[in-house]
Amino acid sequence: MRIGINTFLFTSPFTTEITKLFPMFKRWGFDTVEIPIEDPSHIDPVKVRAAADQHGLAIGSVCACMGPGRDFRGSAADQKAAMTYCKAIIDQAVLLGCPRVIGPVYSVVGKADAVAPDQQKVEWALVVKNLKVLGAYAASRGITICIEPLNRFETDFLNTCDQALKLLRDVGSPALKLHLDTFHMNIEEKNQAAAIRKAGKLLGHFHACGSDRGTPGGDHTDWPAIAKALAAIRYKGDVVIESFTTDVKVIARAAAIWRTIEPKRDDIAVKGLKFLRKTLQA
């Protein structure tokens, strides 16, 4: 099991120049880095991979940024834009030497409203249709897509492990797996450890965040139960700290971070890593 850091804690957008942070991540002791690609034009994947290799970091995951206009349940134009974007970051993941694309790869983040049951069925079918196409493309490129449920304030489409597992069954692509995040699970799951056990071998990626989006371990999350559940399903993938602060204004607004959650931003990474190493024995 490898421990990684998502660069949203430090910057948005991620550009090739941001690889200057890689030596610090390695010095702190991270195994992997998770790169959100807001626009494929922002990076030169060959240069980013070279920088990661130089500093002994693996690029463990590319984080899909489903911004405005990228929506597999939206208009025809939105669906096309989402497909074009997702295929582009899959291609970049290949060049980055990265095995997976992760995140809410189904709909624009922030689209959360009461939807009539008949419309829900229509939207579900649209997402399934599009993910069948995207899953086939990912499989042809040797990339896994890990689908992340978000909390009710960020999407009305996929909130729980059960819903995500149903989506994976309906799509039926071996290239699709599940991505769970302790912050979202803290809001939506009755029992986080039980959700992990239910995901089982389909769990392809894991985000470790404090219940308040702060430092893992400095919160009320039942981390020992989570550690036992991950061990029980023999999870061998990456565990990534994805936390946000007010320092990165665009992400703070998107994630509703209105106050200083921790005294020092770097502590989220440094103390979080130390805690996860001990708790997960990773």
242 catalytic per annotation: yes
Pick the closest to residue 197 from 238, 155, 165, 229 (CA basis).
229
Residues 220, 225, 227, 231: what is their CA dihedral angle, to the nearest 10 degrees?
-170
> For residue 2, which of 28, 41, 30, 39 has the smallest C-alpha distance?
30
CA count, 13 A, side-chain hemisphere, 107:
23
> Which is catalytic among the residues 123, 189, 242, 262?
242
Contact 55, 23 (CB under 8 A): yes
Which value, to the nearest 10 degrees, does the dihedral of the CA atoms of residues 262, 266, 271, 272 take?
80
The residues that bridge with 206 in the sheet, in sequence order, are 180, 239
Query: Smallest Cα–Cα separation from 117: which of 156, 76, 172, 166?
Result: 156
Rounded CA Rg of the chain: 18
Instruction: Please tell me which residue in 148, 154, 188, 262 is annotated as part of the active site.
Output: 148
Whole-angstrom distance, CA of residue 181 vs CA of residue 162: 14
Report, as residue numbers or ranges, the catalytic residues. Answer: 148, 242
